[in-house]
Amino acid sequence: MSLQKKPKISVQTIRRLPQYLRIFYNFHAYGRELISSTDLAQQTHLLPIVIKKDLQAVGAPSKRRAGFKVAGTINVIEQFLGWNNLNKAFLIGVGHLGAALLGFGGFKNHGLEIVAAFDTEPDKVGQTIHGVPVYHTAQLTSIIEKQNLKIAVLTLPSSAAQGVTDTLISAGIKAIWNFAPVNLKVPADVVVQKEDISSGLAELCAKLKSK
């Protein structure tokens, strides 16, 4: 079985994994050992067949007619996403959105530890926001190296995003989570995940129009 070729996992499946993980964590905390896809369907409002396919794609262990094994499924999802180890991350741009992300307590469950923030505003530099120290952007390269930071979260205005990205790439950063509404130019070995708020709005509006 272990030599079987794994199917390619779709973006849609990947995007649903954190939701499954949260539910499995919950059941685990209550001491449950198995969850059926019917139980999962009730909590996620997804079809049982979708859930089954998603979890089978990442190799979730199951027991015939009883459901997925809780501890084992947590393990394979965490492994798949690399969330069994914490990645040290930093955030650039401490505006409203940046501050909102710093205040989001859930990242540690998602393999991410935000240990530094950067801004250029004198009234922000030197502060500690939700427990994270804010440094001046001029210190970016030296702190990335000193603290061995891996993932950059960009919550900057569009106009500043590409310039900062170039600095990050020189400093060796390989993963950028981009909240600025621009397409960043990066070399092939750097991964970028772009969050575009208007994509969600487009989905909502398309659903509303099709009613």
- Interhelix angle 11-29/37-44, rounded to 10 degrees, is 100
Structure tokens belonging to residue 211: 């009613």
Residue (32 or 174) nearer to a second copy, CB? 174
Backbone phi and psi for residue 173, each to the nearest 5 degrees, phi listed first: -70, 135
> Residues with Cβ < 8 Å from 151, sequence gap 6 or more?
87, 88, 89, 90, 112, 173, 175, 176, 177
Asked whether position 197 contacts a second copy by CB under 8 A, the answer is yes
In the list 24, 90, 135, 177, the residue contacting a second copy (rule: CB under 8 A) is: 177
In the list 43, 75, 141, 167, the residue contacting a second copy (rule: CB under 8 A) is: 43
Work out how close the CB of 203 gets to a second copy at its nearest, in angstroms, rounded to a whole number. 5
User: What is the footprint of a second copy within residues 147-166 (CB under 8 A)?
Assistant: 151
Q: What distance lies between CA 74 and its chain's CA centroid? A: 16
Q: Which parts of this chain interact with a second copy (CB under 8 A)?
A: 9, 11-12, 14-19, 22, 43-45, 80-83, 87, 95-97, 99-101, 103-104, 106-107, 110-112, 151, 174-175, 177, 181, 183, 189, 191, 193, 195-209, 211
